[in-house]
Amino acid sequence: MTSGEDLHPLDAATGLISLGDGYEGRTSDAYWNLVGPFGGVTAAALLRAVLDSEGRRGDPAAITVNFCAPIAKGAFEIAAHSVRTNRTTQHWTVTLKQNEAVAATASVITAARPETWQCQLLIAPTAPPPDTLKSFAAGLSGWTDRYDFRFVEGEPELKAAPSDKALETKSVLWVADRPARKVDFISLCAMSDCFFARIFHARGALVPFGTVTMSTYFHIDASDLAAEEPAPLLGVADAAIFTRGFSNERAELWSAGGRLLATNSQLVYYRD
């Protein structure tokens, strides 16, 4: 873990100390959520354990994170193991524990991406430039202050009582780290989870919720990502269904130039 005044809060929050057979990390108040760390930062710390591991081949192609239990403020341990190395892909299993109890598990696939035929079918939504839009003031402390959100559509309007009729669930927004930070796999991984839970949008109110599992697929490698324009990225988030306590959400992150960088799907627990 590097320290210093210039360390970006995201790097401080996801920094790991090698323990030889694993890593130690520590939760960050800068990315605190209501009852635990912002899930995107936990995902990024799990990814960092793989990126920091000796013998890692290629760049992240996919990460699935299962949020098993709330993470308390303080230290946690991460163990990352490569379970299979193929010619172009490598499979990792990652476990985050606090006080010997599993709080999160992850699988990560890294890949040396070959040159192939390619085609992007999904098209980025059109959006006015970010500097023509207001920065969203969430009015919450913690992780939401670590992002500059500029809504193109679907800005949440939270009321005291949840709506019985489903309100609009789709959001399109520009998003950037605050303070600004280059986009790499750590920030892209965290950002793939930065969209407010769709249940807030559907009901127009804060209700109890938490991501149970999420998968982020990366559609770019490290060298192409480093060559991309800096953030903000354009994000799209929506939900397919809310049923019996769980909702199915999806999100996309696009470069300003319209390149699809990452997609996320997640199952979110909710109550009420």
Residue 23 binds a second copy (CB under 8 A):
no
Q: What are phi and psi of 54, to 5 degrees?
A: -65, 140
Q: State whether the Cα torsion 187-190-191-192 is positive or negative.
A: positive
- Identify which of residues 56 and 146 has a Cβ nearer to a second copy in the complex: 56
Q: Which residues of 75-90 are buried (b: 16+ CB within 10 A; e: fewer)?
A: ebbbebebeeeeeebb
Footprint (CB under 8 A) of a second copy, residues 62-81:
62, 64, 66, 68-69
Chain centroid to CA 31: 12
How far is it, in rounded angstroms, from Cα 152 to Cα 229?
Answer: 20
Which of 198, 203, 130, 212 has the alpha carbon at shortest distance from 160?
203
Q: Which stretch binds a second copy (CB under 8 A): 18-26, 118-126, 135-143, 184-192?
A: 118-126
Q: Tell me the site size for a second copy, rule CB under 8 A.
A: 64
Footprint (CB under 8 A) of a second copy, residues 184-243:
202-203, 212-213, 215, 217, 219-221, 238-243
The residue behind tokens 């949440």 is 156
- Least gap, CB of 224 to a second copy (angstroms): 8
Residue 265 binds a second copy (CB under 8 A):
yes
- Identify which of residues 177 and 252 has a Cβ nearer to a second copy in the complex: 252
Residues 6+ apart with CB under 8 A from 28: 9, 12, 13, 37, 41
CA atoms within 13 A on the CB side of 233: 30
How far is it, in rounded angstroms, from Cα 104 to Cα 247?
Answer: 20
For 2, other C-beta atoms within 10 Å of its C-beta total 8
* Residue in 26, 57, 181, 250 binding a second copy, rule: CB under 8 A: 250
How far is it, in rounded angstroms, from Cα 244 to Cα 268?
Answer: 11
- Least gap, CB of 265 to a second copy (angstroms): 5
- Identify which of residues 16 and 61 has a Cβ nearer to a second copy in the complex: 61
- Identify which of residues 53 and 169 has a Cβ nearer to a second copy in the complex: 169
Q: Which stretch binds a second copy (CB under 8 A): 22-30, 97-105, 151-159, 185-193?
A: 97-105
Residue 36 binds a second copy (CB under 8 A):
no
- Identify which of residues 106 and 173 has a Cβ nearer to a second copy in the complex: 106
The residue ranges that bind a second copy (CB under 8 A) are 61-62, 64, 66, 68-69, 83-84, 86, 88-89, 91, 93, 95, 101-103, 105, 107, 109, 111, 113-122, 162, 164, 166, 169, 202-203, 212-213, 215, 217, 219-221, 238-246, 248, 250, 252, 260, 263, 265, 267, 269-272
